[in-house]
Amino acid sequence: MTEISQPAVDYSPQRMGPRVASFLAQAWGAPVEITGWERFPAGFSWTTIGFTADSGGQTRELILRVGDPRGLLAPYSARPEFIALSALQGIERLPVPKVYGYSDDASVIGAPFLITGRVAGDTPMPWRGDAEKRDESQNESLAVDFADALAAIHRVDWRQTELAQLWADVDTRTLALNQVEYWAAHGGLLDERGRHSHSPQLHYTMHWLRRHAPASGRTSIVHGDFRVGNFLQVDGRITAVLDWELVHLGDPLEDIAWAGLRVFAGGTPRLGGLFDREQFLERYARQSGVAVDMPVVRYYEVLGLFKSAAMLASAMHRVEFGRAGDYRMASMGFQLASTLLEINRLIAEAS
């Protein structure tokens, strides 16, 4: 049966700008004028728009993140990211954008959204050879900041923040399995169509992950997409850790595994294409107090690639059934075969 296409979100400043201005005016108690509307092309998930807001004689450079219902990770909710960023304001060694508001009511601007402050910096990417563009001292300082930021996330007592309410129903005894089931559902492996239309390797991986899920130990805030490419830097220092849409309660080693996946290394032996792996792990363990159990990390590496494969499969189906808002999703299907091959390698190593 053909699925109904999602209506397109109108991102034009003429249409969305006044809605955002009205939202901020209500929050700030003063009229708001918006200028400098700029939509950024990067990313497959949330749509990112930069703009300037003038209100009451104060000018703010802001970022609007919109969860397009035709996006890669739809359906979206801005609430988890807003609560997480609110809870992490002012944490030492963990720079994050300031948050100004959010809404999951699609009637406000047409989709769920989050508004944050705009932070200076550029985004290093492993496949652009960015490590070679900076001097070694800047790469070393970035490595320290990267490890320290992750350690700072995992040291936060989430029970003493509003995240405790958000995660009140999470079963902390099955943290790994929680993620397996979430991504299996996202990739369509649990519905009737998915039982027959997906690669047998995806189903095998799902069952392997269920059988080998590690016993839950320490729980922490897990960023969910902590890697090179999701932070801003200036002169070799991280100015903001970005992209918190996958934040959840989990095992801190899940973040370690994700950051170290070879798919993010740009064909280099370095973590994220930038950092020495052993030095990163040593620094992280020292700063976080978390023992890096490599067999558990290897399990989460398999889970990380399973997550990637689920995203790729979902992107293919969104294109097939007219639910994709980004034509680049059509090309994501070409990455599935290589992802499955890498899963095979990691399962063999983990076993």
* Domains located in the chain, CATH noted: 16-117 (3.30.200.20), 126-350 (3.90.1200.10)
Q: What is the pLDDT of residue 197?
A: 57
| Structural tokens at position 32 | 């708001």
174-209 residue pLDDT tens: 999 999 999 999 999 998 765 545 689 999 999 999
Task: Kindly state the DSSP code that residue 190 receives in the 8-state scheme.
Answer: T
Task: Output helix, strand, coil percentages for the chain, rounded to the nearest 5.
Answer: 45, 15, 35
Stretch 320-338: mean pLDDT: 80
- pLDDT given at position 284: 98
At 333 the pLDDT is 79
Q: Check: CB of residue 272 under 8 Å from CB of residue 259.
A: yes
- On whether the CB atoms of residues 181 and 307 are closer than 8 A, the answer is no
Cβ–Cβ under 8 Å, residues 31 and 25? yes
Higher pLDDT: 95 or 195? It is 95
Q: Which of 2-11, 20-29, 95-104, 289-298 has the lowest mean pLDDT?
A: 2-11
d(CA 58, CA 93) in angstroms, rounded, equals 28
Block residue for tokens 């390698």: 345
Q: Chain-centre distance of CA 255, in angstroms?
A: 11
Provide DSSP, 260-304: T-GGGTTTSSSBTTTB-HHHHHHHHHHHH-----HHHHHHHHHHH
Between CA 107 and CA 91 the distance in angstroms is 34
Question: Residue 25: what pLDDT?
Answer: 98
Query: Beta-carbon neighbour count of residue 338 at 10 Å?
Result: 11
Greater confidence (237 vs 191) lies with 237
pLDDT band at residue 97 under the 50/70/90 scheme: very high
Other beta carbons within 10 Å of 343 = 23
CA atoms of 88 and 161, how far apart (whole Å): 9
* pLDDT given for residue 4 in this prediction: 45
Burial of 135 (0-12, 13-18, 19+ CB in 10 A): exposed
Say how many residues make up the chain. Answer: 351
Report whether 126 contacts 265 (CB < 8 A). Answer: yes
Instruction: Name the token pair of 326.
Output: 């980004």
